[in-house]
Amino acid sequence: EVQLVESGGGLVQPGGSLRLSCAASGFIFDDYAMHWVRQGPGKGLEWVSGITWNSGTKGYADSVKGRFTISRDNAKNSLYLQMNSLRTEDTGLYYCAKVGPSFGSDAFDIWGQGTMVTVSS
Amino acid sequence: QSALTQPASVSGSPGQSITISCTGTSSDVGGYNFVSWYQQHPGKAPKLMIYEVSNRPSGASNRFSGSKSGNTASLTISGLQPEDEADYYCSSYTSITTFYVFGTGTKVTVL
Protein backbone atom coordinates (compact mmCIF):
# COMPACT_ATOMS: atom_id res chain seq x y z
CA GLU A 1 0.00 0.00 0.00
CA VAL A 2 1.32 3.43 -0.95
CA GLN A 3 1.56 5.50 2.21
CA LEU A 4 2.96 8.74 3.60
CA VAL A 5 3.16 9.29 7.34
CA GLU A 6 4.09 12.70 8.75
CA SER A 7 5.45 13.37 12.21
CA GLY A 8 7.21 16.08 14.19
CA GLY A 9 4.44 18.61 14.64
CA GLY A 10 3.64 20.23 17.96
CA LEU A 11 3.33 23.44 19.94
CA VAL A 12 6.17 25.92 19.62
CA GLN A 13 6.65 29.54 20.61
CA PRO A 14 7.08 32.28 18.01
CA GLY A 15 10.68 32.35 16.88
CA GLY A 16 11.13 28.67 17.61
CA SER A 17 12.00 25.74 15.38
CA LEU A 18 10.50 22.38 14.41
CA ARG A 19 11.57 19.61 12.07
CA LEU A 20 8.84 17.71 10.26
CA SER A 21 9.41 14.24 8.84
CA CYS A 22 7.49 12.21 6.27
CA ALA A 23 8.05 8.45 5.99
CA ALA A 24 7.17 6.98 2.60
CA SER A 25 6.36 3.38 1.75
CA GLY A 26 4.82 1.32 -1.03
CA PHE A 27 6.52 3.06 -3.97
CA ILE A 28 10.00 3.79 -5.28
CA PHE A 29 10.64 6.94 -3.27
CA ASP A 30 13.64 8.18 -5.21
CA ASP A 31 11.68 8.20 -8.49
CA TYR A 32 9.43 11.05 -7.40
CA ALA A 33 9.52 14.71 -6.47
CA MET A 34 7.94 15.42 -3.09
CA HIS A 35 6.22 18.42 -1.59
CA TRP A 36 4.88 19.98 1.59
CA VAL A 37 1.43 21.60 1.57
CA ARG A 38 -0.16 23.27 4.58
CA GLN A 39 -3.65 24.26 5.64
CA GLY A 40 -4.33 26.88 8.28
CA PRO A 41 -7.28 26.36 10.64
CA GLY A 42 -10.44 26.81 8.57
CA LYS A 43 -8.40 27.94 5.57
CA GLY A 44 -7.45 26.66 2.14
CA LEU A 45 -4.47 24.71 0.89
CA GLU A 46 -1.12 26.48 0.49
CA TRP A 47 1.86 24.99 -1.32
CA VAL A 48 4.90 25.38 0.96
CA SER A 49 7.91 23.67 -0.57
CA GLY A 50 9.02 21.02 -3.05
CA ILE A 51 12.10 19.00 -3.90
CA THR A 52 13.01 16.98 -6.98
CA TRP A 53 13.90 13.29 -6.83
CA ASN A 54 17.62 13.90 -6.55
CA SER A 55 17.43 17.08 -4.41
CA GLY A 56 18.75 18.99 -7.40
CA THR A 57 15.99 21.57 -7.31
CA LYS A 58 14.21 22.93 -4.26
CA GLY A 59 11.47 25.53 -4.16
CA TYR A 60 9.73 27.56 -1.49
CA ALA A 61 6.68 29.75 -1.17
CA ASP A 62 7.55 33.40 -0.61
CA SER A 63 5.92 33.18 2.83
CA VAL A 64 8.53 30.67 4.08
CA LYS A 65 11.59 31.45 1.95
CA GLY A 66 14.68 31.92 4.08
CA ARG A 67 13.07 30.29 7.12
CA PHE A 68 12.18 26.77 5.96
CA THR A 69 14.47 24.17 4.40
CA ILE A 70 13.29 21.06 2.59
CA SER A 71 15.45 17.95 2.30
CA ARG A 72 15.15 14.24 1.63
CA ASP A 73 17.05 11.05 2.37
CA ASN A 74 16.34 8.54 -0.39
CA ALA A 75 18.15 5.78 1.51
CA LYS A 76 15.63 6.21 4.34
CA ASN A 77 12.60 6.90 2.12
CA SER A 78 12.08 10.10 4.06
CA LEU A 79 11.24 13.74 3.42
CA TYR A 80 11.93 16.55 5.88
CA LEU A 81 11.01 20.17 6.51
CA GLN A 82 13.18 22.20 8.87
CA MET A 83 11.17 25.18 10.06
CA ASN A 84 12.98 28.06 11.78
CA SER A 85 11.89 31.50 12.98
CA LEU A 86 8.32 30.26 13.21
CA ARG A 87 5.48 32.78 13.17
CA THR A 88 1.90 32.52 14.36
CA GLU A 89 0.78 32.51 10.73
CA ASP A 90 2.70 29.25 10.18
CA THR A 91 0.11 27.47 12.34
CA GLY A 92 -1.65 24.72 10.45
CA LEU A 93 -1.80 21.13 9.33
CA TYR A 94 1.24 20.21 7.27
CA TYR A 95 0.78 17.55 4.59
CA CYS A 96 3.47 15.62 2.79
CA ALA A 97 2.48 14.91 -0.83
CA LYS A 98 3.90 12.76 -3.60
CA VAL A 99 3.97 13.88 -7.22
CA GLY A 100 1.93 11.63 -9.46
CA PRO A 101 0.39 9.61 -10.96
CA SER A 102 3.67 9.30 -12.89
CA PHE A 103 7.04 10.75 -11.95
CA GLY A 104 6.67 13.33 -14.71
CA SER A 105 3.27 14.54 -13.55
CA ASP A 106 2.55 17.90 -11.99
CA ALA A 107 -0.10 16.84 -9.49
CA PHE A 108 -0.13 15.40 -5.99
CA ASP A 109 -1.61 11.91 -6.08
CA ILE A 110 -0.79 10.64 -2.60
CA TRP A 111 -1.13 12.66 0.62
CA GLY A 112 -0.29 11.87 4.20
CA GLN A 113 -2.71 12.44 7.06
CA GLY A 114 -0.89 15.61 8.11
CA THR A 115 0.95 16.76 11.22
CA MET A 116 -0.29 19.77 13.20
CA VAL A 117 1.99 22.72 13.90
CA THR A 118 0.83 25.33 16.40
CA VAL A 119 2.87 28.49 16.87
CA SER A 120 1.72 30.33 19.96
CA SER A 121 3.07 31.93 23.11
CA GLN B 1 2.20 34.59 -6.21
CA SER B 2 -1.52 35.05 -5.53
CA ALA B 3 -3.88 32.13 -5.15
CA LEU B 4 -5.97 31.09 -8.13
CA THR B 5 -9.54 32.41 -7.94
CA GLN B 6 -12.43 30.01 -7.31
CA PRO B 7 -16.05 30.73 -6.32
CA ALA B 8 -16.54 30.36 -2.58
CA SER B 9 -19.51 28.07 -2.97
CA VAL B 10 -21.49 26.12 -5.55
CA SER B 11 -24.60 24.08 -4.93
CA GLY B 12 -26.83 21.69 -6.80
CA SER B 13 -29.48 19.05 -6.36
CA PRO B 14 -28.81 15.32 -6.62
CA GLY B 15 -28.49 14.25 -10.24
CA GLN B 16 -27.67 17.72 -11.52
CA SER B 17 -24.38 18.88 -12.99
CA ILE B 18 -22.30 21.68 -11.53
CA THR B 19 -19.17 23.44 -12.70
CA ILE B 20 -16.44 25.04 -10.59
CA SER B 21 -14.15 27.61 -12.20
CA CYS B 22 -10.52 28.32 -11.44
CA THR B 23 -9.08 31.55 -12.83
CA GLY B 24 -5.41 32.36 -13.04
CA THR B 25 -3.06 34.10 -15.43
CA SER B 26 -0.89 33.30 -18.42
CA SER B 27 1.90 32.48 -15.94
CA ASP B 28 -0.01 29.56 -14.52
CA VAL B 29 -3.40 28.20 -15.70
CA GLY B 30 -3.25 29.80 -19.12
CA GLY B 31 0.35 28.97 -19.84
CA TYR B 32 0.52 25.27 -19.00
CA ASN B 33 -1.62 22.14 -19.11
CA PHE B 34 -0.70 21.35 -15.52
CA VAL B 35 -3.99 22.04 -13.75
CA SER B 36 -5.17 19.56 -11.16
CA TRP B 37 -8.25 19.33 -8.95
CA TYR B 38 -8.59 17.99 -5.39
CA GLN B 39 -11.57 16.95 -3.27
CA GLN B 40 -11.36 17.36 0.49
CA HIS B 41 -13.94 16.09 2.93
CA PRO B 42 -13.94 17.57 6.47
CA GLY B 43 -11.08 16.25 8.56
CA LYS B 44 -9.59 14.32 5.65
CA ALA B 45 -6.57 14.74 3.41
CA PRO B 46 -7.16 16.05 -0.13
CA LYS B 47 -7.79 13.52 -2.89
CA LEU B 48 -6.64 13.98 -6.48
CA MET B 49 -9.61 13.98 -8.87
CA ILE B 50 -8.18 15.45 -12.10
CA TYR B 51 -4.62 16.03 -13.31
CA GLU B 52 -3.13 17.71 -16.38
CA VAL B 53 -6.42 19.58 -17.00
CA SER B 54 -8.62 16.64 -17.95
CA ASN B 55 -7.07 13.31 -16.92
CA ARG B 56 -8.66 11.18 -14.22
CA PRO B 57 -6.44 9.08 -11.97
CA SER B 58 -7.44 5.56 -11.09
CA GLY B 59 -9.97 5.63 -8.29
CA ALA B 60 -11.59 8.91 -9.29
CA SER B 61 -15.21 8.72 -10.41
CA ASN B 62 -15.92 9.25 -14.12
CA ARG B 63 -18.59 11.75 -13.08
CA PHE B 64 -15.73 14.22 -12.65
CA SER B 65 -14.28 15.94 -15.70
CA GLY B 66 -11.94 18.85 -16.32
CA SER B 67 -11.34 21.40 -19.05
CA LYS B 68 -9.57 24.68 -19.71
CA SER B 69 -10.13 27.78 -21.81
CA GLY B 70 -7.59 30.59 -21.73
CA ASN B 71 -6.71 31.46 -18.14
CA THR B 72 -9.69 29.61 -16.65
CA ALA B 73 -9.92 25.91 -15.83
CA SER B 74 -13.14 24.16 -14.89
CA LEU B 75 -14.21 21.07 -12.97
CA THR B 76 -17.59 19.59 -13.81
CA ILE B 77 -19.36 17.12 -11.57
CA SER B 78 -22.13 15.25 -13.39
CA GLY B 79 -24.95 13.35 -11.70
CA LEU B 80 -24.29 15.08 -8.38
CA GLN B 81 -24.43 12.73 -5.38
CA PRO B 82 -24.55 13.41 -1.64
CA GLU B 83 -20.97 12.15 -1.20
CA ASP B 84 -19.75 14.86 -3.57
CA GLU B 85 -20.41 17.44 -0.85
CA ALA B 86 -16.89 18.62 0.01
CA ASP B 87 -14.35 21.35 -0.57
CA TYR B 88 -12.65 21.45 -3.97
CA TYR B 89 -9.31 23.03 -4.81
CA CYS B 90 -7.60 23.61 -8.13
CA SER B 91 -3.84 23.79 -8.49
CA SER B 92 -1.50 24.80 -11.27
CA TYR B 93 2.17 24.88 -12.06
CA THR B 94 3.34 28.49 -12.09
CA SER B 95 6.36 29.92 -13.85
CA ILE B 96 6.56 32.68 -11.23
CA THR B 97 7.86 30.36 -8.53
CA THR B 98 8.54 27.42 -10.88
CA PHE B 99 6.45 25.29 -8.55
CA TYR B 100 2.77 25.32 -7.66
CA VAL B 101 -0.13 27.49 -6.59
CA PHE B 102 -3.53 26.44 -5.22
CA GLY B 103 -6.93 27.96 -5.72
CA THR B 104 -8.94 29.65 -2.99
CA GLY B 105 -11.25 26.64 -2.66
CA THR B 106 -14.93 26.01 -3.37
CA LYS B 107 -17.45 24.47 -1.01
CA VAL B 108 -19.87 22.23 -2.88
CA THR B 109 -23.25 21.70 -1.24
CA VAL B 110 -25.68 19.01 -2.37
CA LEU B 111 -29.16 20.36 -1.69
Per-residue pLDDT of chain A (121 residues; tens, 9 = 90+): 999 999 999 999 999 999 999 999 999 999 999 999 999 999 999 999 999 999 999 999 999 999 999 999 999 999 999 999 999 999 999 999 999 888 778 899 999 999 999 999 9
Would the CB atoms of A101 and B46 count as touching at under 8 Å? no
With beta carbons less than 8 A apart as the criterion, state whether B22 and B4 touch: yes
Residues from chain B that touch A35, judged by Cβ atoms under 8 A, are 99-100
Q: Closest partner residue to B97 among A46, A59, A107, by Cβ? A: A59
Question: Helix and strand tally (H, E) in chain B?
Answer: 0, 9
Structure confidence at residue B55 (pLDDT): 95
Asked if A11 contacts A92 with a C-beta cutoff of 8 angstroms, the reply is: no
Interface contact A45-B93, CB threshold 8 A: no
Mean pLDDT of B27-54: 96
Contacts of B51 in chain A (CB under 8 A): 100-101, 105-107, 109
Q: Is B98 close to A44, i.e. CB distance below 8 A?
A: no
Which residue from A minimizes the CA distance to B45? A113
C-alpha–C-alpha distance, residues A28 and B108, integer Å: 35
- Shortest distance between the Cα of A62 and any Cα of chain B, in A, equals 8
